[in-house]
Structure 1
């Protein structure tokens, strides 16, 4: 099967039908959430809330991971159909329709970090006669560099087609002022292998350690480690009463309409209905 980015431009490929299918497939949701949580881990943020940018936010699945961890976020995507689904899902982040290849319209130093899931490879295509991938990548990375503070990181999970495409992406990022490189999780696994471009705006630093064979052999799942970390930090488990009340309180602080707390908030249904 041809790669999605070779079938049509993203704003065409992610039609209303495709956007809903992508956002309702439980397997794809699980994968998206796991990659988003790994991307946030690679950001190496402190425990306090941060203001983050979600690049190619789609239907807001990755943004939901950011808000679950207490962060405020802004998402940008080229597909209006995907953004419509995000609005229906009532995500907490602000949403913007835009083409990453034309640059980002944010003020200098606005964000504490940025994540992107499965979007970067689309910029390597020339969908129009006016598109030049190297120029579009440089425009994108230079505008991203400008709108991040000087201690911020950006983490991109992407699917490079080959080494030449990976070189194209990384060279334009370095040319724009970033330091960093590619972290490859599970490099010896065809199924679990994932590429993360980790960019640093404040100077060179060692790249994070990739997840590899030792964890696979020992049977340690990233999900179980993630849940243990949440418990250690004292954060409520997702969908619990405490988690729901925290989320509602965040919405109130943001001035969004929120239902009142009652004794039924977060209570499980009995199964009789």
Structure 2
């Protein structure tokens, strides 16, 4: 069975017909409600909070947030989905048409928490040759981190296509600064649900979710060490001496004339005043 995100971008896939079908399906309503309640359970909010609903769609999750006395704002890229949300009773949040791959468009520290149900896997698909999944994920998680207050949490339920997508998403989250944990309900079955639990804090914050039951911590320090090691070795870092020498060799092999290598090759210049 093909995945929706493999066929069309979300704003095109969720047209009027698909949006109506999604919203009126009793099976989808039940699954969405179950996952939203699970996300709120993982957030462990002790009082009514201001929540960002990422990929809010037609407001199925928003209805539950309202029922739990939370205030919320919803983001979605599909005009058809948002149009249905505006027409439905019980959808009391403010709605914004927005592409989360371009970032979360709110001031730093705006929200107490965030949820996302079945949305962020769409960021792993590049619709054009000049768009990369890594770039879209980076912009999303960096801006999400900034939009949450210090100590805030986010829970993103998503359906990765494979381990590569799962690692792509969790690595982008930890590099943004989140403490991150992965929870899998009904693991090993076709009904498996994966939740990415994120916590905002300073420095190493992976311990913030380490004590949560059944949550496996993704180590952000490992990703940081790997990146630092690459920088020390000068590998794959644009502008390093090794990178420049490799480019020179490639140009020489093509018969082009290049400047001679010296002790100044690849050395950073001091700023001019």
Q: Place the TM-score, normalised by the shorter chain, in its bin.
A: 0.7 to 0.9
Q: Paired residue for 1:233? A: none
Query: Quick check: 1:52 aligned with 2:88?
Result: no
CA apart distance, 1:209 = 2.1
Q: Paired residue for 1:255? A: none
Q: Paired residue for 2:84? A: 85
CA apart distance, 1:182 = 1.2
1:2-57 superposed Cα distances (whole Å, 9 cap, x missing partner): 100001100000000000000001111010000011011111111x1100000000
Q: Paired residue for 1:64? A: 63
CA apart distance, 1:194 = 0.7
CA apart distance, 1:64 = 0.8
Mapped partners of 1:172, 1:191: distance in 2: 26
Q: Is the 8 A contact 1:186 1:210 kept in 2?
A: no
Mapped partners of 1:129, 1:74: distance in 2: 32
Mapped partners of 2:60, 2:212: distance in 1: 24
Mapped partners of 1:177, 1:210: distance in 2: 22
1:122-164 superposed Cα distances (whole Å, 9 cap, x missing partner): 0000012221000110000000000100111110110011111
Mapped partners of 1:161, 1:209: distance in 2: 25
Mapped partners of 1:54, 1:133: distance in 2: 21
Query: Quick check: 1:193 aligned with 2:173?
Result: no
Ranges in structure 1 where 5+ consecutive residues have no aligned partner: 212-273
Query: Quick check: 1:124 aligned with 2:128?
Result: no
Mapped partners of 2:83, 2:171: distance in 1: 34
Distance 1:3 1:207, change over 3 A: farther
Q: Deviating runs (4+, > 6 A) in structure 1?
A: none
Aligned residues: 209
Q: Is the 8 A contact 1:55 1:76 kept in 2?
A: yes
Query: Quick check: 1:209 aligned with 2:213?
Result: yes
Q: Paired residue for 2:74? A: 75
Ranges in structure 2 where 5+ consecutive residues have no aligned partner: 216-273
CA apart distance, 1:105 = 1.0
Q: Paired residue for 1:23? A: 23
Kindly report which structure 2 residues correspond to 1:94-243, keeping only aligned pairs within 5 A, or say none.
94-188=94-188, 190-202=189-201, 203-204=205-206, 205=208, 206=210, 208-210=212-214
CA apart distance, 1:207 = 5.3
- SS of corresponding position for 2:48: coil
- SS of corresponding position for 2:196: strand
Q: Paired residue for 2:11? A: 11
For the pair shown, the structure with the greater C-alpha radius of gyration is 2
- SS of corresponding position for 1:66: helix
Distance 1:164 1:207, change over 3 A: farther
Q: Is the 8 A contact 1:79 1:97 kept in 2?
A: yes
Mapped partners of 1:135, 1:8: distance in 2: 19
Q: Paired residue for 1:226? A: none
- SS of corresponding position for 1:154: strand
Mapped partners of 1:124, 1:207: distance in 2: 29
Q: Is the 8 A contact 1:126 1:132 kept in 2?
A: yes
Mapped partners of 1:118, 1:54: distance in 2: 11
- SS of corresponding position for 1:19: helix
CA apart distance, 1:88 = 0.6
CA apart distance, 1:180 = 1.1
